[in-house]
Amino acid sequence: MARPAACLFDLDGLLLDTEPLHAEAWQRAASRFGRPLTPTELMALRGRRRLDCADAVLGWISGSGGPELSREELLAVRQPIAEALLVHAPPMPGAQALVERCRSLAVPMALATSSSRSAVDLKAGPHPWLGGIAVRVHGDDPELQRGKPAPDVFLLAAARLGVKPSHSWAFEDSPAGAAAALAAGCRVHVLPPAHLDREALERDYPGIQTFLSDLHQVVALLN
């Protein structure tokens, strides 16, 4: 198999095991306002930008008869919870080996994340190996017009590396992120949540052919 022109990586749930922590923070914040979130709703938040998630949660709270809140009021509760949790996020299995393998092979890399720059700095602080990915597109990047599931983040990441999206491998875990990478024209590798069965994968990740059990599989492909 030919090596990719570049590897475009999501961060949350792909390189770092943050998604259960994000879910806990949203759950605790929404519950504070009397509206616990369902597993389906938590899955829908996965991979999206913070403000897009906040808007969805606000709609669920108000739609069930809860208080009419602003983004600021919701995030004032959610952010301290998230920040306290996320600094403890461990790497996903094989993530560090994959990044280091790409570096050793001189395969260009970019981060294509919905997280803001400050959030990435917080989560990446304990993981110096993430410094090997110098090109980054954050969720609050001034050049980013639309968040996932729109393809913009992957198109911008590929452009900054000077490669064609169609010659790149994109790595995602969330349905929103997978849809974004697919729409950008990348070859998409998905590391889905372990609890999803085949029926759920087909429902939540339409058009995706390559599912991974861990990132060590990709290290082997690049050998």
- DSSP-assigned beta bridge partners for residue 45: none
Helix, strand, coil percent values for the chain (each to nearest 5): 50, 10, 40
Locate 4 and state its tokens. 């990719």
- DSSP-assigned beta bridge partners for residue 16: 12, 91
Burial of 112 (0-12, 13-18, 19+ CB in 10 A): buried
Residue 12 annotated among the catalytic residues of the structure: yes
Locate 105 and state its tokens. 């092979």
Which of helix, strand or coil describes residue 56?
Answer: helix
Q: Catalytic: which of 10, 52, 141, 204?
A: 10
Residue 140 annotated among the catalytic residues of the structure: no
Q: Return all residues near 210 (Cβ < 8 A) that are at least 6 apart.
A: 187, 188, 189, 190
Q: Catalytic: which of 12, 52, 141, 152?
A: 12
Residue 126 DSSP symbol: T
Closest CA to 58 of 50, 70, 49: 70
Distance CA 52, CA 153 (A): 15
Which active-site residues does the annotation give? 10, 12
